[in-house]
Amino acid sequence: MRALLYGTGLRISEACALRWRDMTRRQSGGIATVFGKGGKTRHVQVSPSLWKEIAAVRSDVGPDAPVIPGHDGGLLHERAVDRVVKRAAKRAGLPPDVSAHWLRHAFASHQLDAGQPVHWVQAQLGHSSLATTTRYSHASADAAGADLLA
């Protein structure tokens, strides 16, 4: 889940709701069809390395199964994801304010720092306002910290 959040910039709720039917393999990675905030649907790019990692954990499940299932095989709860991220951050020696949402910020900051066009980052994040996305260019998440959690 941490790799999915950091590798795509999905909101926690979007990642928890993601099912295999929402995932489409492409020649280079894949596409996640996400049903986001405000009832908007968007298509989020999944890198080849992340696609490979996600596909490797898929068991013999149908299209309605969650991409990242909970212990009972059902959907994960957002609070559980945040607890897992916070525990991993603590083990990695990261500040206590690191959260699952922090991984979304880290994704955006690192993409902008790497030279990705701001409109691409905006589309990945599902922001309706460019101003919201440009705020991420000022919030530099620690790359090493994000890598430790991914």
pTM of this prediction?
A: 0.84
Q: How many whole angstroms separate alpha carbon 150 and alpha carbon 110?
A: 13
pLDDT digits (tens, 9 = 90+) for 128-146: 889 888 887 755 545 445 5
Query: Which residues are identified as catalytic?
Result: 11, 37, 101, 104, 127, 136
Say if residue 93 is in the same domain as residue 59.
Answer: no
Q: Which DSSP helix (H) or strand (E) runs through 79?
A: helix 78-91
Least confident of 23-27, 70-74, 143-147: 143-147
CB 46 within 8 A of CB 93: no
Q: Are 105 and 72 members of one domain?
A: no
Mean pLDDT of 72-79: 92
Lookup: tokens for 52: 């490979």
pLDDT digits (tens, 9 = 90+) for 77-117: 999 999 999 999 999 999 988 899 999 999 999 999 999 99
Does some domain include residue 1?
A: no
Residue at a domain's end among 76, 99, 126? 76
Residue 2 located in a structural domain = no
The Cα angle at residue 131 between residues 125 and 132, in degrees rounded to 5: 40
Question: Same domain for 144 and 86?
Answer: yes
33 pLDDT higher than 70? yes
Measure CA 130 to chain center: 19
Q: How many domains does the chain have?
A: 2
